[in-house]
Amino acid sequence: MKMNMMKTSAAALAFVATVMVSGTSFAAGDTPRAPAQNWSFNKLFGSFEPAAAQRGFQVYKEVCSGCHSMSLLSYRHLSQLGFSEDEVKAIAASVEVTAGPNDEGEMFERPGIPADRFKAPFANVQAAAAANNGKAPPDLSLMTKARVGGADYVYGLLVGYEEAPSGVEVPEGGNYNKYFPGHVIAMGPPLSDESVEYTDGTKPTLSQHAKDVTTFMAWAAEPEMEARKRMGVKVLLFLLVLTGMLYAVKRKVWENLH
């Protein structure tokens, strides 16, 4: 009987393990997986590095936001990254947003306020597509959650531009990228060394820019992550103690049976 239990338990574990393996995502085609980077936020109890995320926001604002929207974010969310209330107000006020209609029924322009969503570079998807060879640049709010490989993929893509290997034809308007599925991507290399001038003395290399903006995007995709992990510790510790006590109760109750 004991032996049987062991066997069945082992089989159950194997079941769960297989479910887990088959539950993970399936990489597309022959494109190599972007190598794993050492992200502080991917660790079990890790968090976003605020300085990196702030620099990443600067990269987004000065480079990416020319083409890519982040429509799920509001300026007020930026206070989570350590920006002060005044800084957030100033960032929001730096863009003009269309508001209204006012009492006369007219739309009007006003400086942004913290409650506004990030201003999109194009009025609508059609305008974005028309300005970009017929394909609208994707919204970046959820990018690290919406791609197989997550932050590693985003970082890999940003630094993955290279000469096409001989024999690979890159069509007009396309660029060769090592980690983009199918390798041909419409977006030109968005970042290079010194794309952005950092104010905190960090060396403005391509990989630094890519790391920072990926950190920012990871935060944008999962702004709840730090709160989630902090709460998780408490919940699991509580459950551990509770389960331990329930086990003691069960033992005590069953004791007089055996």
Partner 1 sequence: MDTNNMHPVMKWVEYRLPVFSFLDHSLGTQYPTPKNLNYWWNFGSLAGLVLVIMIASGIVLAMHYTAHVDYAFDSVERIMRDVNYGWLIRYIHMNGGSMFFIVVYIHMFRGLYFGSYQAPRELLWMIGVFILLAMMATAFMGYVLPWGQMSFWGATVITNLFSAIPLVGDSIVTLLWGGFSVDNPTLNRFFSLHYLMPFVIVGLVVVHIWALHVHGSNNPTGIDVKSEQDTIGFHPYFTTKDLFGMGLFMMFFMFFVFYAPNFFGEPDNYIPANPLVTPAHIVPEWYFLPYYAILRAFTGDFLVYQVISLGGLLMDAKLAGVLAMFASILLLLFMPWLDGAKVRSCSFRPIMAMAFWIFVLDCLVLGYIGGKPAEGNFITIGQWATFYYFAHLLVIVPLVSRLERPRQLPDSINASVLKAAE
Footprint of partner 1 on this chain (CB under 8 A)?
1-2, 4-5, 8, 11-12, 14-16, 18-26, 28-29, 44, 72, 77, 138, 141-142, 145-148, 150, 181, 221, 223-224, 228-229, 231-232, 235-236, 239-240, 242-243, 246-247, 249-250, 253-254, 257-258
Q: Among residues 228, 230, 236, 205, which one has the least CA distance to residue 59?
A: 205
The dihedral region occupied by 105, where left means phi > 0, alpha psi between -120 and 50, and beta the remainder, is left
Query: Distances in Å between the alpha carbon of 207 and those of 22, 23, 213, 222, 235?
Result: 33, 32, 10, 22, 37
At closest approach, how far in Å is the CB of 205 from partner 1?
Answer: 28
At closest approach, how far in Å is the CB of 253 from partner 1?
Answer: 5
Q: Among residues 199, 200, 167, which one has the least CA distance to residue 183?
A: 167
- CB closer to partner 1, 102 vs 244: 244
Tell me the C-alpha distance between 165 and 156, whole Å.
18
- CB closer to partner 1, 106 vs 257: 257
At closest approach, how far in Å is the CB of 238 from partner 1?
Answer: 9
- CB closer to partner 1, 194 vs 227: 227
Task: Supply 145's token pair.
Answer: 């959650």
At closest approach, how far in Å is the CB of 126 from partner 1?
Answer: 13
- CB closer to partner 1, 35 vs 232: 232
At closest approach, how far in Å is the CB of 210 from partner 1?
Answer: 20
- CB closer to partner 1, 36 vs 235: 235
Cβ-in-10-Å burial (0-12, 13-18, 19+) of 206 comes to middle
Q: How far is CA 151 from the centre of its chain?
A: 6
Task: Supply 18's token pair.
Answer: 């297989």
